[in-house]
């Protein structure tokens, strides 16, 4: 969760302590998506590599990626103190404190002198409006990845107001019903989507990645309205 319009400390739609459990219920393929992301990283990276996790949140990917390769060094960046507190506890429980470092703040706050072999942004950029801020966000990540480095982006995608997006919402509602999400929670999530989430269609995702300096884009994951793309820094 980074550079977003929602303050995940003061008015989080889901409390940090509840985020992992709720994300599994609300987001199609949440756990599988993380496993697929790890598979992509392992296929592209050497045994020794340093990873930048933008919007580290409660630390699910931090722990999963560090356990995926004990020689990787991982930095998790997030502005939310509450989220990082959950992540820190998780890291300590798994005995990964020497492998994972946490940084409270934004990507732009990181020193430009440190360049990473790979970076991920999972369920982050859809909180950023497409008014130049999405592109700035991607560029700030690109500046911190080496040439030929790997970037993985996962976001809710689609164009609000279109028939296709409305139909996808209908699919998602049925998915939530299967997961026993309450009607009140459904309304709350959709209100957050309407007011504070800024999905864009895939062609715009690809356009922004290209403008930010990425190429060789592959969509490796689709879970209803959540998409995952792997790109390479030019």
Query: Which pair of tokens denotes residue 28?
Result: 């199609």
- CA distances (Å), 121 to each of 24, 47, 108, in order? 18, 21, 14
What was the pLDDT predicted at 24? 84
* 50 close to 75: Cβ distance less than 8 angstroms: yes
What was the pLDDT predicted at 12? 53
If we measure between CA atoms, which residue out of 78, 205, 226 comes closest to residue 154?
A: 226
| Placement of tokens 């992509």 in the chain | 40
- CA distances (Å), 29 to each of 52, 102, 135, 198, in order? 23, 26, 27, 20
Alpha helices by DSSP H, listed for the chain, are: 16-26, 30-44, 60-68, 81-93, 133-142, 163-178, 183-196, 202-212
Model's pTM, two decimal places? 0.92
If we measure between CA atoms, which residue out of 122, 121, 67, 118 comes closest to residue 91?
A: 67
What was the pLDDT predicted at 7? 59
Per-residue model confidence as pLDDT tens for the chain (234 residues): 334 455 555 555 455 556 778 888 889 999 999 999 999 999 999 889 999 999 999 999 999 999 999 999 999 999 999 899 999 999 999 999 999 999 999 999 999 899 999 999 999 999 999 999 999 999 999 999 999 999 999 999 999 999 999 999 999 999 999 999 999 989 989 998 999 899 999 999 999 999 999 999 999 999 999 999 999 999
If we measure between CA atoms, which residue out of 87, 89, 64 comes closest to residue 76?
A: 87
What was the pLDDT predicted at 4? 46
Would you call 33 helix, strand, or coil by DSSP?
helix
């Amino acid at each position: 969760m980074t550079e977003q319009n929602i303050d995940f400390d003061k008015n989080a739609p889901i409390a940090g302590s509840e985020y992992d459990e709720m994300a599994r219920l609300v987001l199609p393929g949440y756990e599988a998506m993380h496993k697929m992301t790890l598979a992509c990283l392992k296929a592209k990276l050497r045994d020794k590599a340093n990873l930048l996790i933008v919007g580290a949140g409660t630390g699910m990917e931090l722990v999963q990626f560090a356990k995926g390769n004990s020689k990787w060094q991982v930095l998790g960046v997030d502005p939310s103190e509450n989220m990082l507190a959950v992540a820190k506890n998780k890291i300590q429980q798994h005995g990964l404190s020497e492998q994972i470092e946490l940084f409270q703040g934004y990507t732009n706050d990181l020193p430009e002198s440190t360049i990473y072999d790979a970076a991920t942004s999972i369920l982050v950029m859809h909180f950023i409006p497409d008014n130049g801020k999405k592109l700035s966000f991607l560029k700030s990540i690109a500046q911190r990845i080496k040439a030929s480095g790997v970037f993985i982006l996962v976001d809710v995608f689609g164009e609000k107001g279109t028939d296709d997006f409305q139909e996808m919402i209908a699919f998602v509602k049925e998915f939530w019903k299967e997961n026993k999400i309450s009607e009140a929670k459904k309304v709350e999530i959709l209100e957050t989507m309407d007011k504070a989430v800024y999905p864009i269609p895939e062609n715009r995702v690809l356009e922004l990645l290209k403008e930010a300096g990425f190429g060789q884009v592959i969509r490796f994951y689709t879970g209803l309205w959540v998409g995952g793309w792997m790109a390479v820094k030019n």
